Amino acid sequence: MSEDRLAEAKALLARLIAFESVSDRSNLPLIAFVESYLAALGVASRHAPNRFGDKSALLATVGPRVDGGVALSGHTDVVPVEGQAWTSPPFVMREAEGRLYGRGACDMKGFAACVLAMVPTFQAAGLKRPIHIVLSYDEETTCLGSTDVIAWFGRDEPQPAAVVVGEPTMMEVADAHKSVATIRTVVKGCEAHSALPALGANAVAAAADVVSEIGRLAREYEKGPLDSRFAPPYSTLHVGMIHGGTARNILARECAFDWEFRGLPGISPDRPVAEVQAFVDAVALPRLTRFVSGPTIATEIEAIAPALAARPGSPAETMALRLTRSNRTIAVSFATESGHFQAAGIPTVVCGPGSIDQAHKPDEYVEETQLAACLDFLDALAGELSR
């Protein structure tokens, strides 16, 4: 890894951090910058816009358009900063004591910056198999922003032999992660004066019953199934947001809450949803409708990021271990877009700079040494694909 490449990666990271590509905003300015950067190097890009046209994924290929290359995948969106106590502006990169601070520095614009900085090296390497660059959107919300590009592989675009998703793993090779399902439950009750509860149905009270049951189920999942490779070693349930009611003295007309299930590989999110539905049918809905008819409780899975299942000896694992000079893999509890690549039949691992411990927090950072390690990995990849 040359000092010039590291300096370029840091400069590109500063540019990428400056785009406030929070998931609820457009990422098109960032995509336009990347497209322009690549075009200046003679690399064409292809876009996969969402249905509203305000976001897009990007695919660019360096090297010959043949099967058997490697896709390097990262997401462009970041989580919000509102309410967090940052010590410096979150969308202005700050460098201090070997750390590069800014929203997305480790999750995961650091990886994208390294990949872009290495494009001239890829071009000069005489690649015999291509390197595909995939930048997606909405990974932090639905994990669906990469699926259109994934569908191109093997159809309109050459089929990669392996995918490396550059989420932060401290450049260790992760061959497995949990799934995540985002779920919404909406309770519709019947308004009445709080002094006369028999005239209505309190949606907040019913929602509280269901939330309590989700908590009970979460404690049951702590008992198993267990997989010691993960921390924690069990599947988890979590209720993150709840909204309902209009006034203290009115039985709430509606209450909605958002929850999630993070499952060990092999455990379908349909399982906890069915368990919650059984409680709704047996307890919560009869209790809600004991005085009036018409109230409802509806649960919907809004998005699923599939688990990444370990595939010992896969081409992706073998290659990544060789390039990182490691002899072991890890498993991570956070979800990524890797499961979508694996579901499409492409061997996939997760390996990227930085620590997930720094993600989603104020003063998020990536260490400069991690960027250097990522650049070394990418340089070795270029050598691998040139033979």
Of 296, 298, 279, give the one whose Cα is nearest residue 201.
Answer: 296
Q: Which CATH architecture describes the domain 3-177+307-385?
A: 3-Layer(aba) Sandwich (3.40)
The letter for the amino acid at 301 is: I
Domain 180-305 fold: Alpha-Beta Plaits (3.30.70)
CA 153, CA 142: separation in Å to the nearest integer?
21
Q: Which residues pair with 268 in a beta bridge?
A: none
pLDDT tens for 317-339 read 999 999 999 999 999 999 999 99
CA 164, CA 317: separation in Å to the nearest integer?
9
Confidence band of 2 (pLDDT split at 50, 70, 90): confident
Which pLDDT belongs to residue 1?
A: 56
- Where are the CATH 3.40.630.10 domain residues in the chain? 3-177+307-385
Residues 296/261, Cβ–Cβ less than 8 Å = no
- Where are the CATH 3.30.70.360 domain residues in the chain? 180-305
Mean per-residue pLDDT for 13-38?
98
Q: Which residues pair with 60 in a beta bridge?
A: 45, 133
Tokens 């001239």 map to which residue? Answer: 120
Average of per-residue pLDDT values in the chain: 97
Q: Is the pTM of this model over 0.75?
A: yes
What phi and psi values does residue 154 have, to the nearest 5 degrees?
Answer: 80, 0
pLDDT tens for 294-304 read 999 999 999 99
Which pLDDT belongs to residue 132?
A: 98
Is the pLDDT at 114 greater than 60? The verdict is yes
CA 122, CA 382: separation in Å to the nearest integer?
6
